[in-house]
Amino acid sequence: MSLYAARGVSAQKEEVHQATEKLDKGLYPNAFCKIYPDYLGGDEAWVNLMHADGAGTKSILAYLYWKETGDLSVWKGIAQDAIAMNLDDLLCVGIHDNFLFSSTIDRNKKNIPGEVLEVLINGSQEFFDELATYGVGIKYLGGETADVGDVVRTIAVNGTMTARWPKNKLVTNDKIAAGDVIVGFASYGQAVYETSYNSGIGSNGLTSARHDTLHKTYGARFHESYDTSLDEHVVYIGSHKMTDPVDVPGTEGGIDIGHLLLSPTRTYAPLLKRLLTGQFEAIHGLIHCSGGGQTKCMKYLPGNFKVIKDNLFEPPIIFQLIQQASGSDNREMYQVFNMGHRLEIFTDAASAENMIKVGKELGIEGKIVGRVEAADHKQLLLRAGAEEIIY
C-alpha cells in the first residue's frame, strides 16, 4: 500500500467516482465541469454551472505555521486556495467572467479564533478585487461560517462557484483530436500578479506533503492536526521544521519550507481571460491538473487517443523535497502532484506559439509538453527524466 493510501486518501478518488457514476453527466460528458441547461434563465443558447471545492488539508499547514510563528497572513493564502480550486476548474470549460462565489467555513472555535476568520473573509475579497483588474469579475455572496467543533478539529475552508454562460463560448474537450499538441503552463515561479515566488504545490496532495516533509514533533505537539487513528509510521515522518530555509533557484536568501508548502494555488485566470477572448477557436481542450496530477487529462478525452507527455517541466524544488522525504516512485508522484504544470491547453501546433507568448507576458512559463495520437484505447505515456511510465 502506498503512503498516500495508508493515510486514508486517494489520488484518483475511486470511491467518489463509484458513488457518482449513476448521476447525469450533463450536456457535455467530456467537459471538465458538469454543464446543465439554463434553468436560471430558460434560454436554450445558455447553460448553468456550479462547482464546489476547497483548500483541503492545506489549512492544517496554515494552522501549524500560524501556531509556530504567529503569522496570520498565511490564512490569506488558504482563502485564495479555496477560490482558485473552483475558479480554475470553471475556466477549463471556457468561462472567464461573471462568477458568483459563496464560501463555506467550518471551524473548531476552541482552536480557530475570530481573527483567523477575518483574514480568510477579507483575503477572499482582496483576491476578487485583484482579479477584477484583469477583467475577471467575481461577486462574493457571503456564505456559511459554522462552529462545528464536534466535526472538525481545526478548520475546513471550502467554496461554491456558479456561472451562467453561452453555449457557443464553451470548451467541451470534444475538439481534442489526433495531431493536437499540449501546451503546459508552469505552476511555479512568480507571475506578474503574484507578490512572491510560488512553489507550484497547488492544493492537491497536501496530506502526503505535510506528513512526508514535517518532523514527528508536530504530531506530538498538535494532536488536532491529524487523524490520531492512523498508524504512527505514516504520521509526520519527515525531517523538517516549518521554518527551515530551503535554497530555491532564482530567489535570494532561500524560502522556508512552510512557505513552500503554503504557496497559494496559482490561478490561471488572467492568462485564460486573454486566450479565451483572443484565441477561442484554437483551444480544443482545457485540463486543470489538480486531483490526479498529470493523469487528470485521461478522464476527459473524447475518444480513444494516446497522450504522450515527453517534454515535461523539471519538477520544482518542493516536489523534489517531497519525493526525497517519502521515497515515492515517479508513478505515484505524477498521479498525486502536478509536478510543475497545472494547466494544459490542447491546440494545433501553429497556435501554440502565441499562447506561450501570452503566458510569458504574464510571467508564466509555457511550453509544448506533449501531443495526441490516434489509438485503439486510451493511454498515457509520460516521460519523467529517463523513465517512461504508462498509465
Cβ distance 127 to 75 under 8 Å?
no
What pLDDT does residue 252 have? 83
Question: Which residues, in sequence order, are bridge partners of residue 102?
Answer: 160
- Output 3 or 60, whichever has higher pLDDT: 60
Q: Distance of alpha carbon 211 from its chain centroid, rounded?
A: 19
pLDDT tens string 175-216: 999 999 999 999 999 999 999 999 999 999 999 999 999 999
Distance from C-alpha of 56 to C-alpha of 86, rounded to nearest angstrom: 12
The predicted-structure confidence for 75-110, as pLDDT tens digits, reads as follows: 999 999 999 999 999 999 999 999 999 999 999 999
Predicted confidence at residue 314, as pLDDT, reads 97
Report the pLDDT value the prediction gives residue 24, as an integer from 0 to 100: 87
Q: Which amino acid is at 360?
A: K
**Cell (9 digits) for 50:** 456550479
Please determine, for residue 6, whether its predicted confidence score (pLDDT) is greater than 90.
Answer: no
Helix (H, G, I), strand (E, B) or coil at 27: coil
Domains and CATH numbers, the chain: 3-195+262-390 (3.30.1330.10)
Q: Let me know if 142 is exposed, middle or buried by CB neighbors in 10 A (0-12, 13-18, 19+).
A: exposed
Cα–Cα dist 15/24, whole Å? 17
Give the number of C-alpha atoms closer than 13 A to the C-alpha of residue 224, restricted to the C-beta side.
Answer: 19
Residue 145's H or E segment, with its range, is strand 138-147
pTM: 0.94
On whether the CB atoms of residues 312 and 56 are closer than 8 A, the answer is: no
Q: Give the helix/strand (H/E) hosting 384.
A: strand 379-384
3-state SS class at 347: strand
